[in-house]
Structure 1
Amino acid sequence: MSARAAGGGQPAATRLTAERRAQITEAAGELFGRRGYHAATMRDIALRVGVSPGLIYNYVEDKEELLLLVLDSLLDAYASSIPAALAGLRDPLARFAAAVDTYCRIVAERPEATLLAYQESRSLRRSLREHIKRREVETNALIADCISDGIAQGLFRPVDAELTAYRVVMMAHGWALKTWRLAGRMTIDDYIADSLEMLLGALLTPLGAQRRAEAAR
């Protein structure tokens, strides 16, 4: 079997380059989160991955590109995982719950990248910051669309869907921002369940509450 066939049509060299870039991105996210973007060096990242400091520049141009890759990889996770979680779900309440659950779990799995988005996105040049902002709006829209569907079917109150989606996102980010306290009090499962209870309590109409009660039977 050829290298191209083994990779599903992707040349082996291209596949290996992508894998190495992913390893470098993961290491950068961990080191940026632990030491800070400005304190972590390209040499630190190269040694963490197990390549020579000079070789790392075959995969990325500079540290700014690495920061962009870390933030983009987090947004990629939202953009792919949330639609996958919603696939096959038709009920707006189930879709909203799945979107919130998925978003929260990604935050819990990628706390360093979540914190970097708050702390270091300003270190990117303006054009790259705008790119990250556009992608954030797109991924948040996945949650806003679930809210809009619930409103359209009379299950949610007529709230501002985008604003409410941002409140959901801020709640999810709270796990990464305050893990030092929250993780000692509850599991991520408990945090998601408690947050959903609060969100649905604020959003549900009488019809929505009835629908939820029926689904729980």
Structure 2
Amino acid sequence: MSAGRGAPVSARAAGRGQPAAARLTAERRAQITEAAGELFGRRGYHAATMRDIALRVGVSPGLIYNYVEDKEELLLLVLDSLLDAYASGIPAALAGLRDPLARFAAAVDTYCRIVAERPEATLLAYQESRSLRRSLREHIKRREVETNALIADCISDGIAQGLFRPVDAELTAYRVVMMAHGWALKTWRLAGRMTIDDYIADSLEMLLGALLTPLGAQRRAEAAR
């Protein structure tokens, strides 16, 4: 979980430094977070126990409390790690790309693939974020707005260059996000019909069909030659 933003990093550490992180290597913390995400996703947040998570990681049930205080802290870690993936993955995918169409496609592709790689965490964001205390829910909401802005900025750039219609960039970014989340929400059906590559390609075709101006369509056709 990122501490550089000055946001709460855990239920216990929020506003008081990072005592848990100081006692845990990055590798072990990632293992605990991954195990918690898997078990919360499969059994449900309330049904999965700290003992289950400790045993999955290979530490004693008592020892896990040296690293995290409770399940709320673990849930926050899981959700924050997903947002970290968006916050680092999208800028990395955009690095070196100048064309707004290419940047938009890269942002959508990256977001969708993160959802496909971490479906349990995506579902938890829908199902269990309400289990967090209010201050931590607000933290997650702020980070969601920040990561969605990475997509909205690509849309705004396309509008500024006359390639996209003058849509509401933030609203359109949320539509992109909901489309991406659809893979996790309906994997039971979609995965039997298509690959994630097909899903992304089909979704991009639909999005660009709604967004492109005549100039944007021309630019896209030229790039495809």
Is the counterpart of residue 54 in structure 1 residue 62 in structure 2?
yes
Does the Cα contact within 8 Å between 2:10 and 2:73 map onto a contact in 1?
Answer: no
* 3-state DSSP of counterpart to 1:90: coil
Instruction: Note closer, same or farther for the CA distance 1:170–1:6 as it changes in structure 2 (3 Å cut).
Output: closer
* 3-state DSSP of counterpart to 1:4: coil
Instruction: Note closer, same or farther for the CA distance 1:37–1:5 as it changes in structure 2 (3 Å cut).
Output: closer
Which residue number corresponds to residue 6 of structure 1?
14
Shift of 1:15: 9.1
C-alpha separation between the residues in 2 aligned to 1:39 and 1:2? Answer: 21
Does the Cα contact within 8 Å between 2:24 and 2:67 map onto a contact in 1?
Answer: no
C-alpha separation between the residues in 2 aligned to 1:127 and 1:11? Answer: 19
C-alpha separation between the residues in 2 aligned to 1:8 and 1:131? Answer: 15
Which residue number corresponds to residue 16 of structure 1?
24
Identity between Structure 1 and Structure 2 (%): 98
Shift of 1:186: 0.2
Shift of 1:2: 31
Q: Deviations over 1:96-150 (max 9, x none)?
A: 0000000000000000000000000000000000000000000000000000000
Q: CA RMSD in A?
A: 5.5
Which of the numbers 137, 162, 167 marks the counterpart of 1:129?
Answer: 137
Does the Cα contact within 8 Å between 1:144 and 1:162 map onto a contact in 2?
Answer: yes
Which residue number corresponds to residue 38 of structure 1?
46
Structure 2 unaligned spans of 5+: 1-8
Q: What stretches of structure 1 move > 3 A for 4+ residues in a row?
A: 1-16
Does the Cα contact within 8 Å between 2:83 and 2:147 map onto a contact in 1?
Answer: yes
Shift of 1:17: 2.0
Does the Cα contact within 8 Å between 1:17 and 1:59 map onto a contact in 2?
Answer: no
Does the Cα contact within 8 Å between 1:21 and 1:60 map onto a contact in 2?
Answer: no
Does the Cα contact within 8 Å between 2:10 and 2:76 map onto a contact in 1?
Answer: no
Return the TM-score normalized by structure 2: 0.90
Shift of 1:90: 0.2
C-alpha separation between the residues in 2 aligned to 1:132 and 1:3? Answer: 12
Return the TM-score normalized by structure 1: 0.93
Q: Which has the higher helix share?
A: 1
C-alpha separation between the residues in 2 aligned to 1:168 and 1:6? Answer: 31
